Amino acid sequence: MIKKLFLLTIFTAALSFVNAQEFIASVRVNPPPSGAQSDPKVFQEMQVAIQNFLNNQRFTKDDFSLEERIKINIQINITGESLDGGGIVFNGDLQIQAVRPVFGSNYESILLSHKDGDVKFRYELLQPIEYRENSYADNLSAMLSFYAFYVLGLDYDSFSPQGGDTYFQTAQDIVSVVPQGVAKGWLASDGDRNRYWMAENMLSPKVKELREAWYSYHRRGLDIMADDVEAGKLALKAALDKIFKVNRAYPNSMAVQMFANAKSAEIIEIFKIAEATQKSEVERMMKTMDAARANDYKKIRG
In sign, the C-alpha dihedral spanning 132, 137, 142, 144 is negative
pLDDT for the residue numbered 21: 87
Q: Around Cβ 124, how many Cβ atoms within 10 Å?
A: 12
Helix (H, G, I), strand (E, B), or coil: what is residue 272? coil
Give 14-49 pLDDT, tens digit per residue. 444 445 589 999 999 999 987 767 788 899 999 999
Mean pLDDT of the chain: 92
- 3-state helix/strand/coil string of 140-208: HHHHHHHHHHHHHHHHHHHHCCCCCHHHHHHHHHHHHHCCCCCCCCCCHHHCCCCHHHHHHHHHCHHHH
- For residue 3, pLDDT beyond 50: no
* Degrees, nearest 5: CA angle 99-105-109: 20
| Residues 169, 145 contacting (CB under 8 angstroms) | no
* Degrees, nearest 5: CA angle 189-83-139: 45
Give 208-235 pLDDT, tens digit per residue. 999 999 999 999 999 999 999 999 999 9
Distance CA 166, CA 288 (A): 31
Strands 23-30 and 70-84, bridge-based pairing: parallel
Distance CA 244, CA 282 (A): 10
Give 255-281 pLDDT, tens digit per residue. 999 999 999 999 999 999 999 999 999
Domain ranges of the chain: 1-148
Give 163-211 pLDDT, tens digit per residue. 999 999 999 999 999 999 899 999 999 999 999 999 999 999 999 999 9
Beta partners for residue 29, in sequence order? 76
pLDDT for the residue numbered 48: 97
Burial 170-182 (b: 16+ CB within 10 A, else e): bbbebbeebeeee
Q: What is the share, in percent, of the chain residues with pLDDT greater than 70?
A: 92
Mean pLDDT of the 135-156 span:
98
Q: What is the share, in percent, of the chain residues with pLDDT greater than 90?
A: 84
- For residue 5, pLDDT beyond 60: no
Distance CA 200, CA 188 (A): 9
